[in-house]
Chain A
Amino acid sequence: GLLPPIEINPNEHKLQYAYALWYSRRSPGKQTSIQSYDQNLKLIGRFASVEQFWGLYSHLVRPSELTTHTDFHLFKVGIKPMWEDEANQKGGKWIVRLRKGLVSRCWENLILAMLGEQFMVGEEICGAVVSIRFQEDIICVWNKTASDVATTARIRDTLRRVLHLPASASMEYKTHNESLKN
């Protein structure tokens, strides 16, 4: 259903975009169809100002405290965190694999960079995902145009900078089309 627009008080600091935070959890081992993926996505909340973001964030469990196979998805309002969304159909994502213990700090640095428009790639960013897995954690940044090499390079460089990743850290770019085939 359609949600009402997000109101902002004049004393709050407006963000460039409004965002929605989603949560999903899948049973390990089970194949996820598109339909069940959609049904697993739960909207936690929305915000359009810095103050509203902190109001929501401060009530959340830190990613490192989430159970295995859980994801948080922070996407611009109007873009569902699914390949099938129109904004994602020609897109892709940067994938950063993190050893255990780093995810909460990296996720916070990533979303602050996204909300503060630190990526400087115009309208290209769709959202970010943090995935808690058994042996490692994964964070991803989704963008609209996988074929735009300048944009994907800039996102990679910004990620390295804001996450303080060593040059050796493994980063991989995958188009959503490739992901669909797997």
Chain B
Amino acid sequence: GTRIVYERAFLMNLRNSPISR
């Protein structure tokens, strides 16, 4: 299968999403 790769900036953007809290 495809490896799930995330860049740092993408991960940082999800930091404040409502479901991250």
- Interfacial residues, chain A to chain B (CB-CB below 8 A): 9, 11-16, 50-51, 54-55, 58, 109, 112-113, 115-118, 162
Contact = CB atoms under 8 A, between A and B. Distances in A.
Nearest to A16: B4
B7 A116 contact: yes
Contacts of A50: 6, 11, 14, 20
A115 B11 contact: yes
Q: How large is the interface on B (under 10, 10 to 19, 20 to 34, 35 or more residues)?
A: 10 to 19
6 contacts: A13-B14, A15-B6, A58-B15, A109-B8, A116-B5, A117-B4
Of A9, A113, A116, most B-chain CB atoms within 10 Å: A116
Given A51-B14, A54-B14, A16 B3 contact: yes
Given A112-B11, A115-B11, A116-B11, A51 B5 contact: no
A58 B11 CA distance: 13
Contacts of B21: 54-55, 58
Nearest to B20: A54
Top 3 closest pairs, chain A to chain B, by CB: A116-B6, A54-B20, A16-B4
Contacts of A58: 15, 20-21
B5 A118 contact: yes
A50 B9 CA distance: 12
Nearest to B7: A116
Contacts of B4: 14-16, 117
A54 B6 contact: no
Nearest to A55: B20
Contacts of A55: 19-21
Contacts of A51: 14, 17, 19-20
A12 B4 CA distance: 13
Given A50-B6, A50-B14, A115-B11, 8 more contacts: A54-B14, A54-B21, A116-B5, A117-B3, A117-B4, A117-B6, A118-B7, A162-B8
